[in-house]
Structure 1
Amino acid sequence: MADHDTAVGVGMICNTSQQAERFVALRAQGSAPDKAMAAVNDEAKDPHACGLAAIAFMRDATLDSKPVADKLVQVVRINVVAGFNGSGWQPVSGLVQYAVMEGEGETI
């Protein structure tokens, strides 16, 4: 996929790169996804700092990569173009978020 192609997915997104990186670090230390998300949200004093979302987005830049449970996980800055609210897609303008994605990695 080219960097500017629109993709659709369901996954963990956070308001800041630091929150996404903290989530990945907690996962790398063995925390379950729900516990890691709750810890990040508690630390941010924002129950919506990180959460699961169904979105349409464009990748911007990969900021970090870490191994988590034998998989490469990346923190990627994304531009959200629409969100699914349970009954339909709602267009979004100018929303930058930080997604936690399973990475492609490099084959040696």
Structure 2
Amino acid sequence: MRSLCGSILAGLALIATANVALAEQPAPDQTPRLVSGLICDTREQAERFVLVLRDNIETALGTVNTEAGTPDACMVATYGFVPGQIVSEVERNGTVVDVIEVRVLAVATTNGLQMIEPKLYYSIVRTGDRVA
């Protein structure tokens, strides 16, 4: 999946835009969705990404991946998923970001969307400028 990262990094705005729809959902459902956004192997990595993100997504990804000891612990990708629970909130500069579970069912490749064995990852959803 790391090869997807370079072509999708410019879409960080899509993380907020596409994932805002998740924040508007009253409760997680089983409706699959397609998004270009952040996915991380662990909740802690997603939380760390939020904390180290400044103006450069690649730098934040590099920091988290270096600390994790793997080049693709967190990445920006296009993927099909079923949303899960909110597992934590991270506050940074007055903005709260929810870390959510995402069960990834498919990933975008050069050959189109490819189904994969479902796997649990973590993503982020900006909730607004409220303090936790």
TM-score bucket of the superposed structures, by smaller chain: 0.7 to 0.9
Corresponding residue number in structure 2 for 1:41 = 65
Corresponding residue number in structure 2 for 1:24 = 50
Corresponding residue number in structure 2 for 1:86 = 110
Question: Percent identity at matched positions?
Answer: 27
Equivalent residues, number: 104
The alpha carbon displacement at 1:104 in A equals 6.7
**Runs of at least 4 residues off by over 4 Å:** 67-71
Letter in 1 for 2:75: G
Match of 2:100 among 50, 53, 76: 76
Contact 1:78 1:96 in 2 (8 A): yes
CA separation in 2, counterparts of 1:53 and 1:101?
15
Structure with more of its chain in helix, by fraction:
2
Q: CA RMSD in A?
A: 2.2
Match of 2:75 among 48, 51, 65: 51
| Structure 1: runs of 5+ lacking an equivalent | none
Contact 1:11 1:101 in 2 (8 A): no
CA separation in 1, counterparts of 2:57 and 2:88?
18
Deviates more, 1:16-25 or 1:85-94: 85-94
